[in-house]
Amino acid sequence: MSAEYATFGLAPAIRSGGLLANGDYQVHRDFVDFVVDGRPLLFRLCDLDAVSPLASDVPPAVFTDRVRGLLLETEAPLPAGRYVVYGCPECADLACGAVTAVIERDGEDFVWRDFAWQTDEHADLEFNGYHGIGPFRFRGAEYRAALAALLDDGSPGARRRVLLIGPRVALLARLAAALRTIGVGADIAQDAEGVTADELRAYDAVVFGRSAGAGERDAVRRAFAAAGADVPCVDGLAPAVPLLVAQTEHALDRSPREQRRLTELTAAGDAAEVEVTSSCRVRLTAYRVDRLSRTHARDVFDGVLEPGRHRVPLDPRAVRGEAFVVARAAGTVLVATVGR
C-alpha cells in the first residue's frame, strides 16, 4: 500500500453541551480525539457534530475494549474490517450516522483507509465515501504507544463538576438543573467557607451569579488558591440560564487554541466578528435583557464558514440594550458582550 507516513497522536477534546434558543439541548461529552499530522482528524470533516469512541463516560471495560479494537487486538465491530472513528454524541447509535474506516496492519505499520459515512452495517464508498481523506499510514511503534498509554491511564477524566456561588438560589437552581441535564454536575453554595480542600479540588470551574458581591468572589478565589485548585472563575453576565450554560461550557474547555474550531468572538454595534480555524457550521445566538430584566434569545446566523475571520451582521433589534452573543461550532462555544 502506497500511503505516505503520517504522524499519529491523541488529545483531549470536548463536545460542548448547551441549551439552544429553540428549546433543544445538547449533551456535554469529554473524549479523546485522534490527531493526524498535528491536526485533529475531526477538523477534516466539515460540519460534523460527533465524538470519537474514546469518551470519558463509557464504562471502563467498554473503553478498554475500544482501545484494543483500534490496536487490532479484537475483531472489527463492522463488516470488512471497519471501525467507528466518530459517532453520534447523543446516543452513539449507528443509525444516526457515523464516520467509519478500515483499519489494518501492513507489516509493522497501521493503515486507516476508505473513510465513509455509514448508517447501517455496510458502507457505500461510492456514494458516502470521504474521498479526500486518507489513506493514512502510521508507524507501528508511535501508534501503539499512543493508544497503550490510554490503557495505562484509564478512561480520560471523570464527569465535570462546577460550583455555583451566589445568593439568588432560584436562578442558580435553574442553572444547576440545566447543567445536570447536559451532563455537567453542579453544586450551589453562598460561599466556600468550611469546604474542605479535597472537595474544592474536585471542581472544574466556579460560576458566580451576578448578585454575588466582590468580597464574596475574592473569598472564594482565595479558598480555591489555598486548596491548590487552579480553576477558571466565571462572572455570570446576565440572569439567562442558556447564556450562563454557554459561559460554563467555555470555561470547561481546556483544549489548546490550535485544537479549537472557534478561537475568537467579538461583537459591537450591528455586527459580530468570529475567527474560524477549520471549515465548520457556526451558529450565532443573540441574547438581550430588557428593562424589566426579561431575557430574549434569537438565532441570528446558522451556516458553514471557511477558515479565517468573518464579519456577521446582527439585527439591531436582537441586540439593543444589554446584549450578548454566543457562537457555537462542534466542540467549541464562545461568549461575547455586545459593545456600543
**Angle formed at CA 85 by CA 84 and CA 89, multiple of 5 degrees:** 90
Distances in whole angstroms, Cα of residue 75 to Cα of each of 54, 70, 81, 94, 112 = 17, 10, 8, 18, 16
Distances in whole angstroms, Cα of residue 297 to Cα of each of 24, 196, 216, 315, 319 = 13, 39, 30, 12, 9
Task: Give Cβ neighbours of residue 292 (< 8 Å, ≥ 6 apart).
Answer: none
Residue 1 above 70 pLDDT? no
Query: Tens digits of per-residue pLDDT, 311-332?
Result: 999 999 899 889 999 999 988 9
Residue with more model confidence, 154 or 134 = 134
**CB neighbours of residue 308 within 10 Å:** 10
Residue 337's pLDDT is what? 95
Element (H, E) at 323: strand 322-329
Residue 226 above 80 pLDDT? yes
Residue 128's pLDDT is what? 87
Q: What is the mean pLDDT of residues 235-243?
A: 91
Q: What is the mean pLDDT of residues 262-270?
A: 92
Query: Tens digits of per-residue pLDDT, 139-186?
Result: 999 999 999 998 876 555 556 899 999 887 888 999 999 999 988 999
Residues 172 and 245: their CA atoms lie apart, in Å, by 11
Q: Is 170 helix (H, G, I), strand (E, B) or coil?
A: helix
Query: Tens digits of per-residue pLDDT, 74-116?
Result: 999 999 999 999 999 888 788 889 999 999 999 999 999 999 9
Residue 34's pLDDT is what? 95
Element (H, E) at 110: strand 109-118
Percent above pLDDT 70 for the chain: 97
Q: What is the mean pLDDT of residues 214-235?
A: 93
Residues 297 and 287: their CA atoms lie apart, in Å, by 5
Query: Tens digits of per-residue pLDDT, 39-54?
Result: 899 988 877 889 999 9
Q: Is 55 helix (H, G, I), strand (E, B) or coil?
A: strand
Residue 191's pLDDT is what? 84
Average pLDDT over the chain, rounded to an integer: 90
- Three-class SS of 271-297: EEEEEECCCEEEEEEEEEECCCCCEEE
